[in-house]
Amino acid sequence: MKFLDEAKIWVKAGDGGDGVVAFRREKYIEFGGPDGGNGGKGGDIIVEAVPGLNTLIDYRYAQHFKARKGGNGAGSDRTGAGSEDVVLKVPVGTVVLAEDKETVLADLTAAGQRATICVGGDGGHGNAHFKTSTNRAPRRADKGYPGEERWLWLRLKLIADAGLIGLPNAGKSTFLSVASAARPKIADYPFTTLTPQLGVVRLNATEEFVLADIPGLIEGAHEGAGLGTRFLGHVERCAVLLHLIDGSQPDPVRAYETLRAELEGYGAGLSEKPEIVALNKLDAMTPQARASRVKALERATGRPVRLISGATREGVPEILRELADTIHRHRESQPA
């Protein structure tokens, strides 16, 4: 299934049904009086987060959604039938934005969560509604009220506890494959990973977390270079970022600074998130190179640098434990 994390759709709630003009006519009742009923309510447009979906591909080709109009009123003071709501099913983590792509209408972060985006119109009044002591036979009935309509942007932000970031060929896909049951495509050329990948990391029978692998960024990504930063939204909800740096490259400090500049250029608080820096491909470095590159990185980052190898799994269990502990602290700090 193709991965699609953004879609633009048009939605319209149903119009209200029309009220009617009707009069009661029965044998032996000389003055029947008005009995025109009200119109029914139009259907709402509702967005619901459901489990089992991880893409917005359903909204790639079907982009217009309209609820039905409410039923018209009838004689004998009968109200028209209300129309059924139209429910749009989206993946958990979907953000519903207005047409300006800035105003958040709903943020669906849990399965079963719903949001009414457009409200159906109320039905119009029938002439029975306008009967008074001085107006015994009104001949007025109102049309139904129009339902709301608007253009929407649906933007998916994957629900992950930890985000895996790094330049192309930093070894993110290999790390994800050894840390979880995910099986991303792995190859020795840049931009092998073209869409975000999710993996569930199980440390033991009771501890697990979700790790998201974000496709490689390059210098100028926040201005649209390479794949740009369109996938960085998937780590906005993460509690911690794991920054993998290719240890086989001669200048890991530049790689770190390049990616940090892209995070700051993107914004959304990514540059302030807790970060663990790991120098990957330990098996491809000489002891002298390890020592010099770790020292240079620690001086540039001002924090400890972990040495790991996704290929041989050296240092992987320790860094997964550190990620789990950071996520646990983050969850405890969140309000109940």
Locus of tokens 């893409």: 55
270 annotated ligand binder: no
188 annotated ligand binder: no
Below-70 pLDDT ranges, the chain: 1-3, 181-195, 216-231, 334-336
Quickly count: other Cβ atoms within 10 Å of residue 91's Cβ: 22
For residues 68 and 15, the answer to whether their CB atoms sit within 8 Å is: no
Q: What's the pLDDT score for residue 188?
A: 57
176 three-state secondary structure: helix
255 annotated ligand binder: no
2 annotated ligand binder: no
310 annotated ligand binder: yes
42 annotated ligand binder: no
133 annotated ligand binder: no
One-character DSSP codes across 186-214 = --SSTT---S-EEEEEE-SSS-EEEEEEP
Q: How far apart are CA 153 and CA 40, in angstroms?
A: 30
Quickly count: other Cβ atoms within 10 Å of residue 205's Cβ: 6
Q: What's the pLDDT score for residue 229?
A: 60
Dihedral pair phi/psi, residue 148, rounded to 5°: -70, 150
191 annotated ligand binder: yes
172 annotated ligand binder: yes
- Across 137-183, the runs of DSSP E, i.e. the strands, are 149-156, 162-165
| AA letter at 213 | D
Q: What's the pLDDT score for residue 1?
A: 46
36 annotated ligand binder: no
194 annotated ligand binder: yes
pTM exceeding 0.85: no
Q: What's the pLDDT score for residue 180?
A: 78
Locus of tokens 């960024």: 217
174 annotated ligand binder: no
Q: What's the pLDDT score for residue 44?
A: 95
89 annotated ligand binder: no
Q: How far apart are CA 141 and CA 124, in angstroms?
A: 7
Structure tokens at 62: 């079907």
Q: What's the pLDDT score for residue 223?
A: 55
Q: Could you tell me how far CA 67 lies from the centroid of its own chain?
A: 23
CATH architecture of 1-156: Distorted Sandwich (2.70)
Q: What's the pLDDT score for residue 230?
A: 61
280 annotated ligand binder: yes
190 annotated ligand binder: no
Q: Pairing between strand 94-97 and 104-108?
A: antiparallel
Spell out the domain ranges in the chain. Answer: 1-156, 162-333
309 annotated ligand binder: yes
Pick among 3.20.20.300, 3.20.20.140, 3.40.50.300, 2.115.10.20: CATH of 162-333: 3.40.50.300
265 annotated ligand binder: no
For residues 47 and 108, the answer to whether their CB atoms sit within 8 Å is: yes
